Amino acid sequence: MSVKQKLLVWLLALAVVFSGGMWVGHHIHRDIDPQDNIKTVFTPYEDGIGNYLSFLEKAQRSIHIADYSFTDPRIVDKLIELKTKRKVDTHLLLDLSQTQGRSGDHEQTQIERLRAVGIEVVVGTSEKAHAIMHHKYTIIDGEWVESGSWNYTKSANDQDNLQDYIRSKTRAKLFMENWRRMYTFMKTQEAKRDQTSASPEDANEDRDNGPAETPETAQDHRKSRSRHAPH
């Protein structure tokens, strides 16, 4: 067999192997059902808080939370435990309206507990039209994500809600990008609120941008504002 013929045979063999690998990869990809890698919990039929606390227990390095309503002391207890005993770097983004609404006092109490041990809690609104920040998700160690309709409140377990749990670095990266984008806006927004509350002459300008903060609420924010920045 000539050198030219040997080269041709080798190229054909390579083409067969490569195309076969492409077909197998495509075939396997199409046969994977995403739900096979997702744990889904439906409340009130299943225990949302029990599953969530077990999820938090996985944390070794970091926890990043974005949540609309946050009042469950059991979650706060676990976050404080992980921060103080395991030194887990922990940060929360919470919606402003829920810290001032009907359950505002309960939420402020939990926020104070978190900040007392060095956990950063940033409070704010959506970037657009000062609307609510309505997310409910948690990212752990840059590879685990919990998301769904389940708020981090005591009543959420009795309501019709769902939680999805998945281990995916790709998904965790996607959620972290969203979290950091919100953090940048909400942190700047919080600083402006503090500055406005410290400068009464700027109160009218603040009203043009949304509901003004009461002096009592602003004072609470200034006292409890964290000095830590997320990694």
Contact 166, 148 (CB under 8 A): no
In this prediction the pTM is 0.74
Predicted pLDDT of residue 29: 62
User: Of 125, 144, 143, whose CA–CA distance to 135 is shortest?
Assistant: 125
Predicted pLDDT of residue 209: 45
Contact 125, 190 (CB under 8 A): no
What is the spatial distance between Cα 95 and Cα 123, in angstroms, rounded to a whole number? Answer: 6
List beta partners, residue 136: 67
Instruction: Please give the domain boundaries of the chain with CATH numbers for all domains.
Output: 36-224 (3.30.870.10)
Tell me the mean pLDDT per 10 residues along the chain, length 231. 63 55 48 92 98 98 98 98 98 96 88 98 95 97 98 95 98 98 96 80 46 45 47 55
What is the spatial distance between Cα 143 and Cα 64, in angstroms, rounded to a whole number? Answer: 11
For 59, the 3-state DSSP assignment is coil
What is the spatial distance between Cα 152 and Cα 138, in angstroms, rounded to a whole number? Answer: 10
Predicted pLDDT of residue 214: 45
Angle between helices 48-56 and 73-85 (to 10 degrees): 10
Predicted pLDDT of residue 208: 43
What is the spatial distance between Cα 229 and Cα 227, in angstroms, rounded to a whole number? Answer: 7
